[in-house]
Amino acid sequence: DGGITQSPKYLFRKEGQNVTLSCEQNLNHDAMYWYRQDPGQGLRLIYYSQIVNDFQKGDIAEGYSVSREKKESFPLTVTSAQKNPTAFYLCASIGLGNQPQHFGDGTRLSIL
């Protein structure tokens, strides 16, 4: 079945450490997105990529980095510069024709 796979489901970060969240899709979608969800808030866009080797900052990109070396993969790195990384992170993708975004099951990141 086609879909989006995020891993790990739970992740813990130590102070000063960079961590990478994985997002893989087999839907052949061109566009991929990373969102952050905090309690009491909706989803906020961190980064998005429309095509391979190209990506743009979203509304809250500071402290995060991404890469898009393959169409299927869009990993998100939470750097030590992100001082409040504890949140739920969702990856999404969209195909042609403005179809609804497909979402992964998310990664919960916590500080040790």
The residue ranges that bind another protein (CB under 8 A) are 31, 33, 40-45, 48, 50, 58, 88, 90, 92, 94, 98, 100-101, 103, 105-106
Q: Nearest 5°: phi and psi at 66?
A: -140, 170
β-pairing, 10-13 vs 107-111, is parallel
Minimum CB distance to another protein, residue 3 (Å): 11
Minimum CB distance to another protein, residue 43 (Å): 5
Minimum CB distance to another protein, residue 80 (Å): 26
Report the residue number, 4 or 78, with the smaller CB distance to another protein.
4
Report the residue number, 84 or 98, with the smaller CB distance to another protein.
98
CA neighbor of 88 nearest in space, from 38, 42, 17: 38
